[in-house]
Structure 1
Amino acid sequence: MTTGSELLELSPVLPVVVLDDAEHAVPVARALHAGGIGVVELTLRTPAALESIRRVAAEVPEVVVGAGTVTRPEHARQAAGAGARFLVTPGVTDAVLDAAFDTGLPFLPGAATVSEAMRLAERGLDALKFFPAEASGGAAALRAIAGPLPGLRFCPTGGITPASAPEYLRLANVGCVGGSWLTPKDALAARDFGRVETLAKEAAALER
């Protein structure tokens, strides 16, 4: 995988995972893989995030592990050093964008408006994260964006559920959706990784 566009093709759902305990990282990655999903975005929202990325990269190489919530330039460098194979940002600044490019990793930069999407397209990017999806107009907004910006494809994330995911996946400019529902907090707390595998199987079966 060398581009953001290829990242969009890995799975109909890109699991967006927040881990408070790095001990959960490998079991979660293995459960997702067993359910048919070979990619995971581990968000940099907790102190356990970078260690979680290191463990998945080292112990579950069959899963493409990436870093989400990249909001500062050092996040991009730290994630790359931990073994992340892609980056995801909720939005962009010039400094974050430059740092992401400097890593050489594929990345999905966040955009919520047409102007933001156009600016990223000017930098040569054609695969973006649409965030926060539901709060920014949802599938209807992406359907409208497709007209003036036909060269862009998106991974909408934020507020998407198993019920709403199919509407997004039917859109020509959507490659996958980001979903946090695959790793419920109560399942992780109980170490119920079988439930994660079941949710992954359901997500992997979604049509696009």
Structure 2
Amino acid sequence: MANNGKKLSALEILHTGPVVPVVVLRNADHAVPLAKALLAGGIRVVEITLRSAAALEGIRRISAEVPEIIAGAGTVLTSDDLRAVAQAGGQFAISPGLTPALFAAAHDGPIPLIPGIATPSELMLAQERGFTELKFFPAEAAGGVEMLKALHGPFPRITFCPTGGISQENCKNYLSLSNVSCVGGSWIAPPELIEKGDWDTISELAVNAASGN
């Protein structure tokens, strides 16, 4: 396995590569070929969003059949979501925001939670609960690169994965920041390419993303 059965920390996951593909999976049968296409392009982490009925089954199949990929879930909104992701074999969970119930479920839980924040107050609450690896969402709408630069001064120990409005064109601006370990984006594996089974194009996009381009 990619992690030899060891529970990976949020920081280890975020440092695996510069770009985490954010995927909406509508058909679980696409999960394994998608994971193999990403792996062929040098991507080792994928976020399957819980926006479709196929998401958990897709995570289950990737975890079982392509263990070299670190598969996790996005759009995790509740403690039940978090438990379901862990039971499906997911190795991490990402939420767009934060709630007391999610914090409680994640404390000493089987997989790391990377909660989303958009303001300094939300960041302080997450830090107070022991979270130092956070999703900055929605990145572009919440101030983008300039906001992250401003947050670095008072919060030097926080590591971010910005998501929301990140593209091939602007990802380098985010990756140049010292408090950004990776970005999340949907351009590597968009739904239309997945639906067509265009795995070669996805691999090509993954190559560019894995190199930080």
1:167 is the counterpart of 2:184: no
1:81 is the counterpart of 2:87: yes
Q: Which amino acid aligns with 2:141?
A: A
Q: 1:87-137: per-residue Cα shift (whole Å, max 9, x none)?
A: 101001100121123533122110010111111111111110000000000
1:204 is the counterpart of 2:210: yes
1:61 is the counterpart of 2:62: no
Local SS of the residue matching 1:135: coil
- Give the TM-score of the pair, scaled to structure 1: 0.97
| Residue in structure 1 matched with residue 8 of structure 2 by the alignment | 2
CA contact under 8 A between 2:103 and 2:129: conserved in structure 1?
no
- Unmatched runs of 5 consecutive residues or more in structure 2: 1-6
CA distance in 2, matches of 1:21, 1:160: 25
1:147 is the counterpart of 2:115: no
CA contact under 8 A between 2:135 and 2:162: conserved in structure 1?
yes
- Give the TM-score of the pair, scaled to structure 2: 0.95
CA distance in 2, matches of 1:97, 1:196: 35
CA contact under 8 A between 2:162 and 2:182: conserved in structure 1?
yes
Q: Which amino acid aligns with 1:161?
A: S
- Unmatched runs of 5 consecutive residues or more in structure 1: none
Runs of 4+ with deviation above 2 angstroms: 100-104
Number of equivalenced pairs: 207
Cα RMSD over matched residues?
1.0
| Residue in structure 1 matched with residue 58 of structure 2 by the alignment | 52
1:183 is the counterpart of 2:189: yes
Identity over the aligned pairs, expressed in percent?
A: 51
CA contact under 8 A between 1:76 and 1:103: conserved in structure 2?
no
CA distance in 2, matches of 1:36, 1:6: 17
CA distance in 1, matches of 2:63, 2:151: 35
